[in-house]
Amino acid sequence: MTNQPPKWLDRFLEWYCNPDLLEEIQGDVHELYFERLENEGKRSAALKYLWDVLRFFRWSNMKRAENGYGPGSLGALWSLNFKITIRNARKNKLIFAVKITGLSICLAFALLLTAFIVNEITFDQFHVNHDRIYRITSRVNFQDHVTHYAVTPLPIGQTLVEDIPEVENSFRFMFEDKPIFHIDSELYNDAVTLAADSNFLRILTYEFLQGNERALDWPDKIVLTKTFAKKLFGDQDPLGRIVEFGQGFSLEITAVIDDVPTNSHLKFDALVSWETFEREDSWGNLNAYTYILLKPGATISEVKNKMAATLTTFHALIAREYKATYEPVFENITDIHFSQNLDEDIAEKRNKSNIFIMVAVVILLLITGLINYLNLTLAELTTNLKKIGILKVFGGMAEGHRKTLIAETVLALFIVLPLVTALCFLGWALASDYLAIQIDSRVLSGPLFIAATVGFIALLLASAGVNSHVFSKTGHIINSLKGKFSSGQSGLPTRKFLVAAQLSFSIVMIALIIIIVDQFYFIQNADKGFDDGNVIVVKLRSNESLRVESFNESLRKINGIARVEGSSYYPGVIETKYVFQIETEKGMEQRLVPMMICGYDYLDALNIKMAKGRSFKNDRAEDRHRAFIVNETAAREFGWKDALGKKISGPVTGHNEAYREGEVIGVVRDFNFASLHDKIEPMIIFPTDDNWGSQYIYIKTNQLPPPHLVSMIETEFKTQ
């Protein structure tokens, strides 16, 4: 019995095969099976038997109802409808291709945008307790200027756990940017790294591939993501290996987690245990990102009501030291992605209004594709009215003929779905590679995306109902034979509406494309106040301030490089404000102002124009420790009619001591040192010296730089 053909295939053959043909077909496939069983083996015989059963699965071999080929019968009409549909597609190849291609492109774009929208609105919902996790931020009112920071005092999280019963747990971390990692003689400096405390992996939800949630409980430990671990060690087991971090830290790998989902506001490649570093764990250290976990059933309003009593000591401290007020602000972890931009925020942010615009675009794309498909189908229907009339003369029922339209929609669906799938994967790859748009793959299996996909397919099938409505107006046989609709022409308004709607939506889409292109053109050509053409920026590794000048000198010797200067500023970098003492009519007053440290020729290298006074000069000894430059906004807000010679001291460090004291030697024209969306703020600029290294090196190249210039810069960078 074990050498018999698979029974389930025999049952399938008996289910679909016409009884008059079953004995002959089954005998032939059985004979072939036993021959192959003897010559090729059971596995090969079974696979080929499957193919034999499937290749006989066609209309000519299927079971028929009694008198199945009688005029107007269901079986004959369905067979005839599909044959007519395929014949029409072959006859009108161009129209059919246009219909399918247009519908596929619109549906693919709609699905891609839908995946992106779902990815955006589900940010951080993969954390098991996302509804109970809140981030604490800081709103500081200093000299009537309110600044909202993403960071908090270091002790605030643990204080809330100890003093407020509704808070179950907390964690904190610091942003280490992209430090240098050493593995043997190899250097890696492109991994976003956080210094996180032991509760980070207990409160947030990540999939452990190796290790467990205790991986950060001890000093000198590190957790890697799967991709970064593979980059460092390939296919070798990373657990227990030692990684050199920065300068002077040897870290043991205690866990490997799956890559952080793309719909997370926290993106990182490595986590270093908090206890590895010595921190000033005081209320005056406002540098940690802090999150709390509420107990089940607790509300954030209960925590807010008890905050004032808990932070009494800190409020008194900040009022005494800085004459400022402090207010903690709580936001649920799922709300961070769409919240406002904060100072020193590392979270990926998005404007919620853009999501609504994308929803509208999805609807427009979908409707445009469907209406284009309907219009072309109805145009074909008009040319086939005489054929439909002849079919009616020979006994075809109206309901049966409508199935031709349904058959065409089903055929289109079978062709469109694979094409849409291919286009979606192509668009996904292009968006990731060229637009830096990441969509988490888990979105595709989520209920929202599946519901949207099913809805799109249902709309396509429902379009057959529109065709059927117009077809119903061809009910009079004489009119059909004349090639026109019924005498009332009641089907014509529907066609006119569809054509007008398609034209309107097309105009709207063209207008949107023009607006988008115009915005890209504006961003590329907007006057930012500086010239960034032919500029390469190199970010230095941590603790390299002593080697900045030697690195710069080595770069200046490379042919094709015009200027090399350092700066603490880079567009989009986390902005930090510092306290400065500013000369005013009332004397020296404290102000919270962004600052920039730069090389002596930095302003000239980026062609930042002076509005008044002069730039820094390397040959002037007083510029090294006593010179400041401000922008036009700072001069206005400080109340200076003539800024030159005004005194500044700062940034103010502990015990009200200033890092440097001097006077203003120049005013630069305002330039966008933050996003173009942000209002230009006051800026204080002073040159670097031996104690303050530049984080970024700006390399101004010639108009026609030599080939392999970037590789030469990389070589110099690695030798430092």
* Range of weakest confidence among 126-135, 405-414, 679-688: 405-414
Beta strands in 622-712 (DSSP E): 627-631, 647-652, 658-668, 684-687, 696-701
| Beta pairing, strands 324-332 & 181-183 | unpaired
Note the pLDDT tens digit of each residue in 200-210. Answer: 999 999 999 99
* Range of weakest confidence among 11-25, 248-262, 329-343, 470-484: 470-484
Asked whether the beta carbons of 220 and 273 are under 8 A apart, the reply is: yes
pTM of the complete model: 0.72
pLDDT at 488: 47
Asked whether the beta carbons of 345 and 574 are under 8 A apart, the reply is: yes
Domain boundaries, the chain: 7-61, 74-119+389-509, 130-333, 535-719
| Cis-peptide into 707, omega within 30 deg | no
Cα torsion angle, 696, 701, 707, 712, sign: negative
Bridge partner list, 652 = 658
Q: 3-state DSSP call for residue 660?
A: strand
- Give residue 147's pLDDT band: very low, low, confident or very high (50, 70, 90): confident
Mean pLDDT of 537-550: 66
Spatial distance between the Cα atoms of 33 and 47, rounded to a whole number of angstroms? 10
Note the pLDDT tens digit of each residue in 91-138. Answer: 777 777 888 888 888 888 888 888 889 888 999 999 999 999 999 998
Q: Which value, to the nearest 10 degrees, does the dihedral of the CA atoms of residues 143, 145, 151, 154 take?
A: 20
In whole angstroms, how far apart are CA 527 and each of 268, 361, 608, 609, 679? 33, 30, 11, 12, 14
* Range of weakest confidence among 82-86, 308-312, 500-504, 658-662: 82-86
pLDDT at 571: 64
Q: Residue 567: what are its φ and ψ, rounded to 5°?
A: -160, 155
